[in-house]
Amino acid sequence: MKVLILSATTGGGHMRAANALKEYILAKDPSSEVRIYDTIQYVSPRLNRTITGGYEYMAKNTPNLFGGMYKGSDKNSPINKPFEATLTSRGMRLLPMLDAFRPDIVITTHSFAAEMISTVKVRTELDFPVITILTDFAVHRTYINKGINAYIVSSEEMADQLCERGIDRSLAYVYGIPISGGFLKEIDREKAFLEEGLDPELPTVLIMAGSFGVTDVIKIYHKVVKSEAEFQIIVITGKNEKVFETFEKYLSKIDINNTIYQLSEMYPTIKQQRANYRNPRKLKPSKSTKLLYFTDRVEKYMRMSDIIVTKPGGLTVTEAIATGLPIAIFKPIPGQEEQNADFLVRNGMAVRLKKDKTCTETITQLINSPEKRRTMREAIARNSNGNSAEKIYGLMLRLLEDYKKAHGGLTFSSID
C-alpha cells in the first residue's frame, strides 16, 4: 500500500500526528510505502515562511489578533477569498508529487493540506480516497472541502458540528487524533521514579513548557511552587534553548541544590556540564524539580505524573488523555487552543489556571484532592478514543477496498 500523508509545520502537532500514523502503518505492514510531505513548503517555500513565521509571531506576540483572524477565517466571508484562492492555485503544484508517487490513499493532518488536495480532485479527473484528520477539538471550516471521503474527529460534538456545516454524518468517524504507540503502554512507575531520581511517594506535577514564552514559564512555575501542598515537579522545555537556559538560571537563584538537571542524549550540546543528576532536597518553599531540555520519552513522564500543566494543543492534550492524566490549562491562545480548553473543561477533563493567586490555589486543591483527580481521570477515560491509528488504518483498508470495487480493481497507482 502506498500512503501519502500531507501535513504542515504550523505548530508541531500536525507533523506529530502524521508521524504517529506512519509509525503504525509500517508496524502493521512493513511492505507499505508511506511518505510525509510538509505540504505548504512543497508548493511554495516563500508561502511557507510567511504562514509559519506569521503563525509563530502572532501566537506569541499578538494572540488576540491571531484569535480574531482564526475566528474570522471560520466564516464564509469575501475577506477570506484571496487567501483561499492562493491555496487553491498552489494546490495544483501537488500534481508532480502525485504523479511521481501515485499513492493508493491520501491522508491530511492540516486544513491547508486538505484544501489543496481537494483542489486537485475537483480540478482534475484523478480519483483517490482522501481522509482528513482534524487535529483539534473543534471544527474549523478550512477542514471542510469537496472530495474528502472521511473526516476523523475526536468527539461526537465534533461529528455534530460537521453535520451542522453540511457534511453527511456517515463521513464523520470519532476515532481521535493518532499518537505514538508509546503513549498507549503502561509503565513500571516505581522503577521509573527510581531511574529518574524522584520520590515515588510524592505526587508529581508535569509542566510542558515548550509552547510557553520565557516569561510565562517563569510565572507559571512561580505560582505552582508557591503551593503549600507536598509534591515534586518535572519541567520539559522541548527544543527551546532560550526557555531552558532562562529557566535553569531562574532555578539556580532559588535553590541550585534542589534541582535535578538532565539533557537528552540526542541533544547534548547545551551546557554539557549541567547534564547530571543532583539529589533533591526538600527545602521550603521550593519543590524538588527535574528540568529537561528535550526528551523522546514524554510518555514516560506523563505516566509518572498526577497533573500536567500545559497549553492545550491538540496533540499534547490527546497524549495526556491517552495516559489518563488530568490537565491544568494555562493561558490558551485565542483560537483553536481556546476551543480545545473549552471542550476539556466542559467535559470535566481539565481545569483552567489563572494568572493571579487562584493558580496556586487550584494546584493545591488538585494535589490535596485525590478524589478530584480520580473524577477527572474517569472523565478522561470516557472521552478517550483508544488507539486512533489502529482505527484509521482499518478505515484506510475499507476505503481502498471500496475504491477497487468502484474502479474494477484499480487504485490511483494504476490508473492512467
Q: What percent of the chain stands above pLDDT 70?
A: 89
Q: Which residue has the higher pLDDT, 268 or 189?
A: 189
β-pair type (327-330, 350-353): parallel
Among 51-65, 174-188, 261-275, 343-357, which stretch is predicted with the lowest mean pLDDT?
261-275
Bridge-based pairing of strands 105-108 and 130-133 is parallel
What pLDDT is stored for residue 130 in this prediction? 97
Above 70 in pLDDT, residue 375?
yes
Grid cell of 129 as nine digits: 480516497
Indicate the pTM of the whole model.
Answer: 0.88
pLDDT, tens digit, for every residue of 162-178? 999 999 999 999 999 99
3-class SS of residue 6: strand
Confidence of residue 232 (pLDDT cuts 50, 70, 90): very high
Cα-based angle 237, 243, 249 (whole degrees, multiple of 5): 110
Q: Is 205 in contact with 232 (CB distance < 8 Å)? A: yes
Cα gap 364→228, rounded to integer Å: 7
pLDDT, position 278: 39
Most confident of 177-181, 278-282, 409-413: 177-181
Identify the weakest region by mean pLDDT among 264-273, 317-326, 399-408: 264-273
CATH architecture of 184-383: 3-Layer(aba) Sandwich (3.40)
Q: For position 410, what pLDDT does the model report? A: 64
Q: Give per-residue pLDDT as tens, 102-155.
A: 999 999 999 999 999 999 999 998 889 999 999 999 999 999 999 999 999 999
Q: How far apart are CA 25 and CA 7, in angstroms?
A: 16
Q: What is the bridge-based pairing of β-strands 204-208 and 2-7?
A: unpaired
The rounded mean pLDDT for the chain is 87
pLDDT of 159 higher than 90? yes
pLDDT-derived band at 287 (thresholds 50, 70, 90) equals confident
Averaged pLDDT for residues 287-312: 92
Which of the pair, 74 or 381, is modelled with greater confidence? 381
**Joined grid coordinates for residue 324:** 489518563
Quick check: 280 pLDDT over 80? no
Q: Check whether the bond before 285 is cis (ω within 30° of 0).
A: yes
> What's the average model confidence in pLDDT over 253-282?
43
Residue 89 pLDDT > 90: no
Q: Which CATH class is domain 2-176+386-414?
A: alpha beta
Q: How many CB atoms lie within 10 A of CB 248?
A: 19
> What one-letter code names the amino acid at 160?
D
Nearby residues of 360 by Cβ (< 8 Å), 6 or more positions away = 223, 224, 226, 227
Outline which parts of the chain fall under CATH 3.40.50.2000: 2-176+386-414, 184-383
pLDDT of residue 32: 97
Task: Sort residue 271 into left (φ over 0), alpha (ψ -120 to 50) or beta.
Answer: left
Residues 23-29, mean pLDDT to the nearest whole number: 97
**How high is the pLDDT of residue 409?**
67
**59-73, 194-208, 256-270: which is most confident:** 194-208
Name the band, by pLDDT with cuts 50, 70 and 90, for residue 412. low
